[in-house]
């Protein structure tokens, strides 16, 4: 087959997600495996979300509400923004793609911290834009160097706060100084997929700075703290003018009926939400204490995941742990050849992780 494909498309390296449990058990012949690789909610979905989804199943022959009216109203009431400031996405990834399609042209530049979430790079390259990478500084996003990297070709800046895969945050005072230096035509996108897990009160929350005078956008998701990763529901809060433009190119039924119903219920389920945060924070402390006792280096986090320095080839440790039925994430492809990333699981899963890691390091 002879296809005419732009060089910038063929150059894209596919995003590789964490290995599914089913694939591990099929390939390695293990049973009762656990997955601590994709930063998912260890408690599963909100029980109220599950009930709302069950009530919606009987209408699967109908198209979903293309406007996402009920969910947008719920988000509007929860955060105090007008519905016209809100855009729904099939995961926040889709909104990243919408932003790239609406505002980027071939040859224009997008500034990205590195390493960070790979979809920023993929979506920018997919429309012919040029990613400009700014290395992290002590595992944290270097806003000073990002500011210095802005040129006349810069159209967009992506920030992940807290950052994935490092779990570090941007503080309020640093973020405020950064915003003052950004030219008014440069769009700043802040991905806050893990913001709910943050314990550090100095962390910047970009929603606090959104108005209709500057092109600042907050992205959030129901995949992590709300436990709905399988339904793919994300949202962006942004100036009305930008939201209006994105809604012109948004697919009409991009969030499905089950996702909309589940997300509405999950946002209301404060009991489950608080239970999730309590478990994650308690188990983070447990994991850190266990690693301290073993003398294994790890890095502090403000998310539900963290990096561990295994002191040897991360892919080797990853494979050793797979054979024990424990799925983690090697950070070798991110440039951290001796690091793995693990997300918090249930207590018994975390104990199993510690046991498997100790065996793998022998």
Residue 53 has a pLDDT of 97
CA dist., res. 173 & res. 158, Å (int): 18
Torsion angle, CA of 352/45/161/159, rounded to 10 degrees?
110
The pLDDT profile of the chain, 362 residues, written as one tens digit per residue, is 777 777 777 777 776 667 777 776 787 777 788 999 999 999 999 999 999 999 999 999 999 999 999 999 999 999 999 999 999 999 999 999 999 999 999 999 999 999 999 999 999 999 999 999 999 999 999 999 999 999 999 999 999 999 999 999 999 999 999 999 999 999 999 999 999 999 999 999 999 999 988 999 999 999 999 999 999 999 999 999 999 999 999 998 999 999 999 999 999 999 999 999 999 999 999 999 999 999 999 999 999 999 999 999 999 999 999 999 999 999 998 999 999 999 999 999 999 999 999 999 98
- In three-state secondary structure terms, 235 is strand
Tell me what pLDDT residue 32 has.
Answer: 83
pLDDT (0 to 100) of residue 237: 98
Distance CA 232, CA 226 (A): 11
Q: Are strands 86-89 and 234-237 parallel, antiparallel or unpaired?
A: antiparallel
**Which of 217, 223, 207 is closest to 246 using CA atoms?**
217
Domains located in the chain, CATH noted: 7-44+271-360 (3.90.1150.10), 47-269 (3.40.640.10)
Q: What is the pLDDT of residue 129?
A: 96
Entry pTM = 0.93
């Amino acid at each position: 087959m002879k296809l005419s494909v732009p060089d910038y498309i063929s150059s894209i390296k596919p995003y590789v997600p964490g290995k599914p449990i089913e694939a591990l058990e099929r390939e390695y012949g293990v049973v009762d495996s656990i997955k601590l690789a994709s930063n998912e909610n260890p408690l599963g979905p909100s029980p109220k979300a599950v009930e709302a989804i069950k009530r919606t199943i009987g209408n699967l022959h109908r198209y979903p509400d293309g406007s996402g009216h009920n969910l947008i109203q719920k988000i509007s009431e929860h955060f105090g923004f007008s519905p016209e400031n809100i855009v729904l996405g099939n995961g926040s990834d889709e909104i990243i793609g919408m932003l790239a399609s609406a505002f980027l042209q071939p040859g224009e530049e997008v500034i990205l911290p590195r390493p960070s979430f790979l979809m920023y790079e993929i979506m920018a390259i997919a429309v012919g834009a040029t990613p400009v990478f700014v290395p992290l500084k002590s595992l944290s996003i270097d806003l000073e160097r990002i500011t210095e990297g802005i040129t006349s070709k810069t159209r967009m800046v992506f920030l992940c706060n807290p950052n994935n895969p490092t779990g570090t945050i941007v503080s309020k005072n640093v973020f405020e100084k950064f915003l003052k230096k950004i030219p008014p035509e440069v769009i700043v996108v802040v991905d806050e997929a893990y913001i709910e897990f943050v314990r550090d009160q100095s962390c910047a929350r970009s929603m606090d700075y959104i108005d209709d005078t500057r092109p600042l956008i907050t992205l959030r998701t129901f995949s992590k703290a709300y436990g709905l990763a399988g339904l793919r529901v994300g949202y962006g809060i942004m100036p009305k003018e930008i939201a209006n433009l994105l809604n012109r190119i948004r697919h009409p039924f991009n969030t499905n009926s089950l996702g909309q119903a589940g997300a509405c219920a999950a946002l209301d389920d404060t009991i489950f939400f608080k239970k999730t945060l309590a478990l994650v924070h308690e188990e983070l402390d447990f994991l850190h204490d266990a690693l301290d006792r073993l003398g294994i280096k790890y890095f502090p986090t403000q998310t539900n995941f963290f990096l561990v320095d295994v002191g040897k080839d991360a892919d080797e440790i990853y494979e050793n742990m797979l054979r024990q039925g424990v799925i983690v994430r090697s950070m070798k492809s991110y440039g951290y050849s001796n690091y793995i990333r693990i997300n918090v699981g249930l207590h018994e899963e975390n104990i199993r992780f510690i046991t498997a890691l100790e065996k793998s390091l022998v």
